Amino acid sequence: MKRGVDYIGVGVGAVIVAADGRLFLARRGPKARNERGLWEFPGGSVEFGETLAEALKREMREEYGIEIAVGELLDVVDHILPEEGQHWVSPSFICSIVSGDPVIKEPDKCSEIGWFAPGSIPADLTQVTQVTRENLGHYLARKTPR
């Protein structure tokens, strides 16, 4: 049985915010499970017995060689891809890097990485990242002192 195809999968996302406010994004690689070539807030599948935070930390270590701190839950997005026969539920968390500098460790899954100002995020985003970007805007507006 395949996660996300034969049953609903859980794919957790890291909205990694640098001290200067820039956001870490990754472009999905040629052998990514879906939405190849699009930019995303990185993440991955939750394995049986893992908490969401544990899964995020594992995925960031495996795919980018970084240790992260997992903060607030930002959103939960239904990620339904009828053309690919997939259904995921995708919670995303505000995160920060605790140690390491991101590098691509799994080039089949990720072809490019970058840091972007919130107003300069690429337009070619995954379905989940489009929704999460909008929710991040609302989150930052609430956090900004007036």
pLDDT digits (tens, 9 = 90+) for 44-89: 999 999 999 999 999 999 999 999 999 999 999 998 888 888 899 9
CB 78 within 8 A of CB 89: yes
Q: What is the pTM of this model?
A: 0.91
pLDDT at 145: 63
Q: What is the pLDDT of residues 96-138, one digit of tens each?
A: 999 999 999 999 999 999 999 999 999 999 999 999 999 999 9
Per residue, the 3-state secondary structure of 123-143, as one string, reads CCECHHHHHHHHHHHHHHHHH
All structural domains of the chain with their residue ranges: 9-143
Is-contact 69 106, C-beta < 8 A? no
Percent of the chain exceeding pLDDT 90 equals 75
The CATH number of 9-143 is which of 1.10.357.10, 3.30.930.10, 3.90.79.10, 2.60.40.10?
3.90.79.10
Give the pLDDT score at 141: 86
How many CB atoms lie under 10 A from the CB of residue 125?
18
The 10s digit of each residue's pLDDT in 3-16 is: 655 778 999 999 99
